[in-house]
Amino acid sequence: MVQIEGKYANYKNENLDAYFADIGVPYIPRKMICSSKPNMEIVKENDTWTISTSTLLKTTVLKFKLNEEYEESMPGGTLKNTTTMEGDNKLITKSVGPGDIKSARDYEFNDDECIITFSSEKTTQVAKRFFKRV
C-alpha cells in the first residue's frame, strides 16, 4: 500500500498555463499560479482528510471526508466537491462550479511523488502538477 499522507514539494508542471487559460483564469492570476512552486501536506485523522497547499502568498486548506460533499472557495466562486478513493493510491476530487461546470483533480501517489491531473468539461486541455515527497 502506498503512503499518501506526508509532505510534498512541487517540482514541475505540465500544460498548466494552457489549461487555466482555457477555463477562463485571468492572465495575472494564471501567471502567478503557474510560476508558483507550492508545498503540499496531506494528513488523515480518523476519517477526515486535510490537504494544505502553501505558496509564499497563500495557504489553502481543504478538509473533507471521503464520499461526502464539501465546499471549496475559489476566486471565481464556490465549488461543490466530492472526493473518493480509487484503489490504494488515488484520491479523485470531482467538482461542480459556477454555471454547473464540472471538473476534476486526480491525486495519484507512488512511493516518491504525487501527480495531480486537472481536467474540466470546459476544455479538452489536461494539466499536471508534479510533487516530490519531502
pLDDT in tens, 58-95: 999 999 999 999 999 987 789 999 999 999 999 999 99
Please check whether residue 107 is in contact with residue 90, taking contact to mean a CB–CB distance below 8 angstroms.
yes
DSSP 34: H
Q: Which residues of the chain register pLDDT less than 70?
A: none
- For residue 76, the model assigns a pLDDT of 77
Q: Establish if 76 belongs to a structural domain.
A: yes
Q: Establish if 124 belongs to a structural domain.
A: yes
- For residue 45, the model assigns a pLDDT of 97
Q: Establish if 1 belongs to a structural domain.
A: no
- For residue 37, the model assigns a pLDDT of 96
pTM: 0.94
CA distance 22 to 66: 29
- For residue 56, the model assigns a pLDDT of 87
**CATH number for the domain including 45?**
2.40.128.20
Match 470531482 to its residue by C-alpha cell.
94
- From its phi and psi, is residue 47 left (phi > 0), alpha (psi between -120 and 50) or beta? alpha
* Count of domains for the chain: 1
CA distance 96 to 45: 26
Residue 63 structural domain:
6-133
